[in-house]
Amino acid sequence: MNLRDGQMRIGILGATGYSGIVLYSLLRQHPQVTQIKLYGHQGNNESAALFNERVPAFKTENYPIEAFSANQVMQETDCLFCATPAGVTSQLIEPFIKNNFPVIDLSGDFRLKDPTSYEKWYHRPAAKQEQLTHAEYGLAEFHHSISGHYIANPGCYATATLLGLAPLLLEHLIDLQSIIVDAKSGVSGSGKKLSASSHFTFINENISLYKLNAHQHIPEIMQQLKLWDPAVKPIQFSTTLIPVTRGLMATIYVKLRSGVTRRQVTAAFQAQYQNSPFVRWRNQQLPDLKAVVGSNFCDIGYGYNPAANVLTVVSVIDNLVKGAAGQAVQNFNLMWGFPEETGLPQFPVFP
């Protein structure tokens, strides 16, 4: 996509959710972004609100949240980010697709190419098939050549899991029937909407599994794995809520193919990510959440049990940055030809 003199006018649809708030803070500090317009998707009443009223932590940001109008957005901005719940963009975005207007969508509405699969896993109507064909799945480390105008930003669990598995599948190092993923995420991963499991009295000093074998990121993961190796079999995937605000850890268990060595595993990860500024290969040093929270990094390490022939890969990200808003900005940079790291934090929040 052609660079617009390095000066970008950005629209954000849904800036008051957790991912939208982080997205706003990143774009507000992006050196190529000169203007940000905020839009609501819940009717004209939202136009009366100011951003700092909805997000008191951003007290000085007294910008209006305007009612959404596709024509207005396309006139006022150069690129639209959608940080909305599932089911919103599929109903609003058709004019942008028809006009080849640049969109980066953080929701799940355009990640799956099969509408039937979307309806099965998301339990709501899918976008039209002809619209889905215009969307590109934006796993940034594998999507440097952006040819279209609509980027479907990956989910957080999918990002950590796919980055942890990619070198193993691409180099055909593992038994494709052996993949087990035990993923854990902080409370912000479920968004701002209140639920019984988000109450302090529930999550404090507690961990709980949820959506066992039913999480909506599973078909997204399988869709990409099959592109890397069509012979891959269904994976076992569990998700666990842990008592932290931010951070996600995917612990991946696989069996190595006969004759595969640890040296080959190391070589595969090093070769795959040597030019990826946001993937840090830790080799046999297992990463932890504190190493990445607040950053756009994905840290990956591994351990090997020769007695069981099981390789354990640990992949950690900040679910709101690399798992959502940070990767969206990374895709924005790739889309418009900016250096990949532009506007993205280079250090985690530590300690």
| Residue 190: strand, helix, or coil | helix
**Two tokens, residue 9:** 């006018």
| Residue 179: strand, helix, or coil | coil
- Calpha distance 119→239 (Å, rounded): 20
Backbone dihedral angles phi then psi of residue 345, each to the nearest 5 degrees: -65, 135
Residues labelled as active-site residues:
156
Q: What stretches of the chain show up as alpha helix (H) in DSSP?
A: 18-28, 51-54, 70-76, 89-92, 94-98, 115-122, 129-132, 156-170, 200-203, 217-228, 262-273, 326-336
**Two tokens, residue 256:** 């190595």
Catalogue the long-range contacts made by 212-215 (C-beta closer than 8 Å, 24 or more residues apart). 212/238, 212/239, 213/237, 213/238, 214/121, 215/157, 215/239
Pair 150, 111: CB distance under 8 Å: no
Pair 192, 57: CB distance under 8 Å: no
Q: For residue 8, what are the β-bridge partners?
A: 33
